[in-house]
Amino acid sequence: MKAARLHEYGKQLVLEDIPVPDLAPDENLVQVKACGMCRSDVQLVDGYFRPYADIKPPITVGHEITGVVHKIGSIVPKSSGFQEGDHVVVAPGWGDGTCRHCQVGNTHICPNVRWPGFGPVGGFAEFLPVPARYLIKVDSRLQFEQLAPLTDAGMTPYRGIKKLRDAGALGPDRVLGVFGVGGLGGYAVQYARLLGGGATVVAFARSDEKLAVATAYGADHVINVKGKSSADVGEELKKATSQAQLDAIIDCVGAPEMIQLGFALLSISGHYADVGLVGDRIDIPLFPRVSREQTFHGSFWGNYTDLSEIMALAAHGKIRHTIKAITFDQLNENIELLRVGNIVGRAVMKF
Ligand SMILES: [Zn+2]
């Protein structure tokens, strides 16, 4: 089968023919139809994750995976209802099933987690085996290139906004900031509307082209922050919403300057959920965090339940997409474009 693999950190992916991976008895073999390209693919290539998880190459890259069930494992229970030809999405965090995080459904933060696309099997390949319990059947009318990014770009901000909602940070009298309108932020704006309980939604980014996407997806206001101080941005925010501070922030960037801006704008008792990973270190003043009783939420990817909820929204036609369809042969050139931030929406490889 065709596969795009990382053989050496810092080098391009090698597009090659390799054997179809073996199928364990509790797995289904998925024939990949589409796989989204994520900024974390670039970071994987660049070695960003190595201090945290030094994965040994060769790595089959690609973790936003959708396709059809090609073969069913020998002990996959009949009650799971899988049939060959079913359209599926792959829930990404494959836990050990035994720890307390797995027991409550958060398999993606299991200490023994495995992720497709960060090891031997991944989505930039024609086939991959997936533990059957991490496959979700989807409506066959949905398009593969739209389903693929929902497993990460379209799930990660969903979980983050659920955390803000569950913390009581959202409601009709609150202002929610969406930071970044790239692959994740376009979805974040829509979830801000769907889950925000009537909160005013303001999108922040450095590109008017990306902010236009936020407006199209229902942001009440957009602010271009390029070259502006936090005081300038606060003033624009006040003109737009009549308050200069944000009650909640979903940060889809995670760059040091955006985080510094975010905390400068965060209100008393504000909640900050970060799902972006552009930076690695931040320097922010401590006293206001304590004296203003602010809360920081780390929110990582999402679990089976999050993805099931998103599939329901997709089946109801409630999610819109900005997709750039690419071919297998165009993977490396698009990794370069993504590295410099030159992709609007999500690049999705289609077989
Ligand atoms: Zn576990």
**For residue 322, what pLDDT is reported?**
86
Report residue 259's pLDDT band, with 50, 70 and 90 as the boundaries: very high
State pLDDT tens for residues 201-215.
999 999 999 999 999
Percent of the chain with pLDDT over 90: 93
Q: How far apart are CA 178 and CA 122, in angstroms?
A: 30
Ligand 1 center to residue 99 CA distance, Å? 4
Report residue 342's pLDDT band, with 50, 70 and 90 as the boundaries: confident
pLDDT of 4 strictly over 90: yes
Which letter does DSSP use for residue 135 in this model?
A: E
Ligand 1 center to residue 114 CA distance, Å? 10
State pLDDT tens for residues 15-69.
999 999 999 999 999 999 999 999 899 999 999 999 988 999 999 999 999 999 9
Crossing angle for the helix pair 230-241 and 256-265, to the nearest 10 degrees:
50
Ligand 1 center to residue 108 CA distance, Å? 8
Round the average pLDDT of the chain to a whole number and report it.
95
Output Rg (C-alpha) for the chain, integer angstroms.
20
Ligand 1 center to residue 103 CA distance, Å? 7
| Total length of the chain | 351
CA–CA distances in Å: residue 39 to residues 42, 43, 150, 155, 251? 5, 6, 14, 14, 15
Ligand 1 center to residue 301 CA distance, Å? 16
Characterise 43 by phi-psi region: left (phi > 0), alpha (psi -120 to 50), beta (else). Answer: alpha
Taking residue 70's Cβ as centre, other Cβ atoms within 10 Å add up to 19
**For residue 324, what pLDDT is reported?**
92
Q: How far apart are CA 216 and CA 206, in angstroms?
A: 17
State pLDDT tens for residues 286-340.
999 999 999 999 999 999 999 999 999 999 999 999 899 999 999 999 999 998 8
CA 126 from centre of chain: 22
